[in-house]
Chains A and B, each alone.
Chain A
Amino acid sequence: MTRWVTLGLFVLLLPRCGGAAAGAEPKTAADDAAEAADAAGSGAPSEGDEADEPSAAPEKPRGPNCDDGTCSVCGSGICPAGWYCDESAPGGAACAWLTECAEKVSCGCVAKVLGSACKCRDESGIKVSCN
């Protein structure tokens, strides 16, 4: 059985070799795994990426472009998707997360957990302000 599964996965990977564009193809384990690898710190770029980096510093470290929904700006930092930004934190705006809302962070979930003392808005990420 395992051999057949292996063969199937091998075939699944096979046609993708060579990096041909596959705009209409369904998302595969390979693609998802690439995201997973990206998520945890790999992040090698594709060979076709355009060079847009000047060859010299100094420069302020530039954060990721959060337009893809993977993050949101919070104070001078950035929160990963799944986290919320507490703009009223006594230490200054800070990222935080709730396990109750990790599956799908939303104002509905965050407000339910944090209670009525907190106001929540979804504005390029979940922003919370509490009394």
Chain B
Amino acid sequence: MTSRVDLARAVADRLPGLRVSERSVDRAAASRDAWPRHLVAEASAPQSRTEPALVAWPERPEQVQALLSFAREHGVSLVPYGAGSGVCGAIKPRSASIVVDTKRLTRLTIEPDAGVVDVQAGVLGVDLEAELARRGFTVGHFPSSILCSTVGGWLAARGAGQCSSRYGKIEDMVVSADCVLGTADAVRLRRRVGGPNPLGLMIGSEGTLGLITSARLRLHAAPAARAFAAYRLPSFELGAEAMRAIMQAGLRPAVMRLYDPIDSYLLSRGKVADDEGSERRGSGMPSGFWLRAALGSPRALNGAIECFERYLSASATLIVIFEGAADEAHVDLEQAERLLRELGGSSLGEAPARAWLAHRYAVSYRQSKVFQQGAFNDTLEIAAPWARLSAVYQAVRDAAGRHALVLAHLSHAYPDGCSIYFTLVATRRGAALDRYDALLDAVLGAALAEGASLSHHHGVGTSKAHWLDAELGGGLDTLRRVRRAWDPELLLNPDTFEPLRATPRVSLREPVPGIDARSGIATFRGETPLSEIEASARAHGLSLGLIGAVPRLSLAAFVEAGLPGIADPFADPVRGAVCGLEARGPLASFRLLPAPRRAVGPDLSALCVGAAGSIARVESASLALVRRAARSLGATATPALLSADEASAWQRIVTALTLTPAQS
């Protein structure tokens, strides 16, 4: 296609009903997401952005499918676009690309009897929950970006909401997803246990494997009551211990957030700071003067903060909110408060937790203030098992502290680990772009080296792509083969996941084989009998939590058989099952270090779990355990067969990862 005009004409001829725009205003708006590096780059060295050739707004899934067919015929790349609030540079169209804006895919059907909602990809989160609230339901997904993110974006990025410790992440909520693969085949991928689960590959694929047109999400009854508490803990470490104890006791708070000492202190002053703002603007003091001055010497600033923590206040603040039936919320809170008091917590009353809830979405709307004050900020949300959390926290603080002010809180807790949410603020003075890149690499390198996963819920995009091969244990090649299986011409979001820079070298911390009793994780070689693992777990007061007798299988066979006897994941969405995996096959090779949840592209463990060894053999695996005293996990799910369209899609994956081109 020689020009934009030609492309527009060809699209109009082929898809007469499709709404398309060549307007500069539309192409500019769809040219990128909210990755902070875009801002830093433009401020450092103004350059023209790359705008796509066209923006299209399909209104029906058939139009998406037709667009894919068109793209294949003409070799045009397609970049899906929701509300543009992603922060990892996953929206990176080329000048000849068509951006597929999903915002006119807005159908929403609630099926109360089935306990599900069918919602098209372009529905804004706030509209979905508003509609559900009117009917007395919730999906339970409340990202702070809920006012500027779409359902399709949630699935594509493998996102998490503020209530993930009760309802799980988005991947724990999906019953099925309707997609159009890069082959232009429409397929409904259903959640499945006991067999291949290609849905796990689509969620988190960031627009690279297919375009998600709609999803069927599980419904919960809207909570009848909430119970609130806030506690001061003697240290950040003890706060983390409290979160671990609460989750491992089987309690599932809707919200549980721990602020480190300086974050607790600074943020406890948030209201005062806001109140002062208007007066100060008239005082003649340049806004952000102190920020700019302090950020000029980040080592010193972080040193001062460490002094503050060491000598004045090491206490951390934990807020916790339970919700559900009236009795349930208050009984659970009482139990959590008992654990908090045992760990030296002192109550701050309900008010901080109530106030947090009242302002829960306000936090995402202040970034431009920082930018206007001559600084930039970014956030990185890494995930690690409980046993590694403290080391990861300290290593990242040390590494990032050379470049930026570092703040942190814990906000997505699971029985086996937690996400640490780092807020990084640095000056834009001087070589800001170099500083940004050095900061990002310092954080990600330190996190990986200490045994964390790069991302819990923001995703990879282009921002972390050069670290992806390290995260996947050399699995980038496997990921590329998966892409080619469903998108042979690599037309879908082609630059996402592809490193823009050389992959830095980093020595990953090897997980210690055996039982990590602190995290409740069993890591064993694939040939280890499951009964042996269960016995080892029981020696620590833990269990695999299987329903019925432990199968006479090796760990590898258990994983490849689809975890027979495991409770239905919907019974406890936050538990997780396989949290780490190493696999080798003819053309597939990857290793995922144990982490509670990750958002680092398609879930490669789906190539093994329930796949009967057809793609790769499990060399080792990490399973999340349950406390033997914890609550019952319910029943197993009924295994479901692949439908014809799913089987066809799955076979493409198997072929791509087992047969060389000559063989196939």
Chain A positions near chain B (C-beta within 8 angstroms): 2, 5-6, 8-10, 12-14, 16-17, 19, 21-53, 55-66, 68, 70-71, 76-83, 86, 89-92, 94-100, 102-105, 113-115, 117-118, 128, 130
Contact = CB atoms under 8 A, between A and B. Distances in A.
B283 interface: yes
Contacts of B323: 57
B278 to A, nearest CB: 9
Contacts of B295: 29
Interface residues of B, number: 129
B466 interface: no
A21 B287 CA distance: 19
B379 interface: yes
B359 A34 contact: no
A12 B262 CA distance: 14
A6 B150 CA distance: 44
A2 B401 CA distance: 14
Nearest to A93: B103
Contacts of B378: 40
B263 A37 contact: yes
A57 B133 contact: yes
Contacts of A50: 351, 355
B288 A32 contact: yes
A49 B364 contact: no
A76 B126 CA distance: 8
B127 A6 contact: no
A40 B269 contact: no
Contact of A26 (B43, B285, B307): B285
A105 B39 CA distance: 13
Interface string B362-403: 111111111111010111000000000000000000000000
Contacts of B257: 44
Given A29-B290, A40-B378, A100 B42 contact: yes
15 contacts: A17-B265, A17-B312, A29-B291, A33-B266, A34-B266, A36-B370, A36-B407, A39-B377, A43-B359, A57-B222, A64-B365, A77-B148, A79-B148, A80-B367, A81-B366
A33 B133 CA distance: 35
Given A49-B271, A58-B134, A102 B355 contact: no
A80 B228 CA distance: 29
Contacts, number: 368
A13 B421 contact: no
B653 to A, nearest CB: 32
Contact of B304 (A13, A38, A55, A118): A13
B352 A117 contact: no
A44 B259 contact: yes
Given A36-B375, A52-B354, A60-B129, A42 B421 contact: yes
Interface centre among A23, A42, A55, A115 (most CB of B within 10 A): A42
A51 B290 contact: no
Contact of A64 (B83, B137, B271, B361): B361
A33 B369 contact: no
Contacts of A12: 290, 304
Contact of B272 (A22, A53, A60): A22
Contacts of A92: 103-104
Contacts of B71: none
A96 B305 CA distance: 36
A121 B293 CA distance: 36
A92 B59 CA distance: 12
Contact of B126 (A39, A61, A95, A98): A61
Contacts of A38: 267, 270, 362-363, 366
Contact of B269 (A2, A30, A39, A43): A30
Nearest to A4: B300
Nearest to A74: B148
A102 B43 contact: yes
A126 to B, nearest CB: 12
Contacts of A46: 267-272, 352, 355
Interface string B269-313: 111111111011001010111110111010111011101100011
A33 to B, nearest CB: 6
Contacts of A2: 297, 299-300, 303
B222 A91 contact: no
Nearest to A103: B372
Contacts of A22: 272, 276
Contact of A70 (B101, B271, B366, B377): B366
B124 interface: yes
A43 B291 contact: no
